[in-house]
Structure formats: C-alpha cells, structure tokens
Amino acid sequence: MFPLKAPGPDGFPAFFFQKHWDVCGDDVTQAVLSIVQGKESVESINDTILVLIPKVKSPTLISQFKPISLCNVFIRLLLKF
C-alpha cells in the first residue's frame, strides 16, 4: 500500500499503521482474522467514500473525472489476504 495515498473514512492513511505497527499490529491482525474466519461481519469496517478527481483543468463533463474509493486500511488488508 502506498503510505500516504488517500486516507480512508477513519482518516488514517496506511502510513499510520506502518509507522505504529508495534502498537496496533496485533489488534489489526486480530480484527482482519476475525472477519476472514467469519467471527465478525465485514459491515463494521465496510465504509467507503467515493471521490471524483478532475483529469483536466476546469472539467465540465463527468467523463473528465476519475473516481477513486477512499477505503479504510482494514478493507485493503482483507482484499490482499
């Protein structure tokens, strides 16, 4: 994951978790494993914000925007699992 790209709805970019893994790594791992093992629902972390980024200066058409999803780090970890 790119460390400082698009933080998720929780406001934390991947860099936060990378930098402070010694503090939060066990909790993050347990949360992800609980979801993968079916003990917890993915709904608890499944918030995503869609954002339109302009491809050109002063866009006037929807096709001149690029959509990106601001997913939280937990979802990104699940997708890589």
Helices (H) and strands (E) in the chain, counts: 3, 2
Confidence tier at 77 by pLDDT (50, 70, 90): confident
The total number of structural domains in the chain stands at 1
Q: Is residue 1 part of a domain?
A: no
Q: Is residue 67 part of a domain?
A: yes
The Cα–Cα gap between 32 and 14 comes to 15
Q: Measured between alpha carbons, how far is residue 28 from residues 43, 60, 66, 67 in Å?
A: 16, 42, 30, 28
The lowest-confidence range among 9-13, 33-37, 41-45, 77-81 is: 77-81
Evaluate if pTM is beyond 0.75.
no
Q: Is residue 35 part of a domain?
A: yes
Q: Is residue 5 part of a domain?
A: no
Residue 66 backbone phi and psi in degrees, to 5 = -115, 120
**Structural domain that includes position 26:** 14-80
The Cα–Cα gap between 66 and 47 comes to 20
